Amino acid sequence: MKLTHFDEEGKARMVDVSKKPATEREAVASSSVFMKTGTLKLIMDRQISKGDVLGVARVAGIMAAKKTSELIPMCHPLNITSVSIDFVIDEKKSKIDIKTTVKIVGQTGVEMEALVAASAAALTIYDMCKAVDKGMVISDIMLLKKSGGKSGEFKRKE
């Protein structure tokens, strides 16, 4: 398998997608934030002094997806058609699971946009709650699935 972000001489480059057809593409990524049970309760009860943690994290994730090409050097600026971010609260494990879905009709995929959205949402939860819990852990940032494009479907095995 050849890496596409290097030319024949091994120099970094942005891949030329100008001749690729535009297709419907979608990527789903996830991340998790583990925290103290008291922190999770404060989030659920909307008692964090900075405001609605999950609402702000959702907006941060959406904004991050749109800014991915400014953060990741070889990513193309994209005309994203949809970003959705969902949260699942797991009280037993004292964590919040984040799932991001990014869609586009374009010449390149949106895996990085979904991963950046999942990361930014998790970082925002941390930022908004660090005053009460500096020991939070962000983990399991991963691509769950992607569709569209020449490489076809990918679905992570559970």
Q: What is the pLDDT of residues 32-56, one digit of tens each?
A: 999 999 999 999 999 999 999 999 9
Give the number of domains in the chain. 1
d(CA 77, CA 113): 10
Whether residue 157 is contained in a domain is answered as: no
**pLDDT tier, 1 (very low <50, low <70, confident <90, very high otherwise):** low
Number of Cβ atoms within 10 Å of the Cβ of 85: 23
Catalytic site residues? 127
Angle at 116 between CA 114 and CA 17, to 5 degrees: 65
Residue 9: predicted pLDDT: 80
- According to DSSP, the residues that pair with 90 across neighbouring strands are 95
Full-model pTM: 0.92
Whether residue 1 is contained in a domain is answered as: no
Mean pLDDT, the chain, whole residue set: 94
d(CA 95, CA 6): 39
Mean of pLDDT values over 122-138: 98
Whether residue 140 is contained in a domain is answered as: yes
CA dihedral sign, ordered 76, 151, 101, 19: positive
- Which of helix, strand or coil describes residue 24? strand
Whether residue 153 is contained in a domain is answered as: no
Whether residue 10 is contained in a domain is answered as: no
The CATH number of the domain holding residue 112 is: 3.30.70.640
Q: Which domain holds residue 105?
A: 23-148
